[in-house]
Amino acid sequence: MTTVLKVNNLSKSYGSLWAVNKLSFEVKKGSVYGILGPNGSGKTTTLGMLVSAINPSHGSFEWFGKQASANTRKGIGIFLEKPNFYDYLSAENNLKIVADIRELDYSLVESALKTVSLWERRDSKFKTFSLGMKQRLAIASAIMGDPEMLVLDEPTNGLDPEGIAEVRDLILRLADEGKTIILASHLLDEVQKVCTNLLVLKSGVKIYDGSIDDISQTNDQIEISAEDNQALLDALQSYPDIVDCKLEGNIIIGKLHNNSKSSTLNTFLHQKGIALKHLQVRKASLEAQVLNLLKN
C-alpha cells in the first residue's frame, strides 16, 4: 500500500516544554488515520507542523514521497481549529473567496457545497448557520480542488449529537470515495467509528501506533477458577499466552494475548489434571485499552 505521509522524529519545543517529542509514523493511502489524545497531548501542534503552519524544532516529514513544499500542499485539504469565514457573506461567496486565494475555478464551489449537503443553503449568510453547518462548510473549503489528502483537526469539537453525526457521516462518505484522511480528536467514540488506524499521543510522545482492529483484539481478560486455585496458578506459570495472573477472592484474573483462545487454555489445563469450575472471557473495549495506555 502506498505511503502518502512519512514522519521521522518530528519534534517541537517551546523553551523547555516539548509539545511533540521524536514522533514517527506513516499514513497509507486510503486509510482514515486517527490521532487521539487528551487536550494538550500535541495533536494540534503535530498537524500544524504537517501543514507547515508551525516550524518543527527537529525531524522531518514527506508528503507523497517528497519533501513538504507549496506544491505538495496543493494535494492536501486542511481543516485546522474553528471555521473562519466572513459572517456577513453567504456560504457560496465565502467559498468563492477561498477559490480566489487558492486559484481554483468557481465551478468547484457548487460540487463542494453539494458534497457537504449545503447547496440548498448556498445563499444563506454564514452567521445564520448552526455550528454543525459551519463545520461542514469548513470541510467543503478543504475538499475544493479534489485533494488527495484531508487533514481535519477536531472537526466535531463543540457540536451537539446531531451535529457530530452529520460530520461523522460526511467523513465516512469521503473515505468511501477514496480520500485519505488524518483526523485529530480527543473523542474516543468519534475515532472508533470512523478510523481504520490510530496514533495515541500523551504529552507529545507516541504511546500507540497501529490499526483499530489490532488494539481492540489484544489482551482479552479471562476469569478462571478451580477447586485448588493455587495449583491452577502454578499451572498457569507454564502457559505462554496468559499474563498478569492474580487471585481476586475465589477467581483468578489474567490476560490472554497473541489471539489465544480460551478453549486452548482449557485443554492445556485439562492435560495438567485441572478441571475448571469457572471460565469467562471478557473482551477488552477500545476505551479500556486506550485508557490503560494513557495511565502507563
Task: State pTM to two decimals.
Answer: 0.75
Condensed to tens digits (0 to 9), the pLDDT of residues 153-203 reads: 988 887 888 888 888 888 899 999 889 999 998 888 888 888 999 999 999
What is 218-295's CATH topology? Alpha-Beta Plaits (3.30.70)
What residues of the chain score a pLDDT lower than 70?
216-219, 258-259, 283-285, 287-288, 296
pLDDT at 158: 79
Residue by residue, DSSP assigns 77-112 as EEE-SS----TTSBHHHHHHHHHHHHT--THHHHHH
pLDDT at 241: 85
Bridge partner residues of 79 (DSSP): 152
In the chain, what are the domain boundaries?
Answer: 3-215, 218-295
Spatial CA neighbour of 193 closest among 47, 28, 34: 34
What value does the mean pLDDT of the chain take? 88
3-215: CATH, from 3.40.50.300, 3.20.19.10, 2.60.40.10, 3.30.470.20:
3.40.50.300
pLDDT at 219: 62
Find out whether 190 and 7 touch, Cβ atoms under 8 Å: no
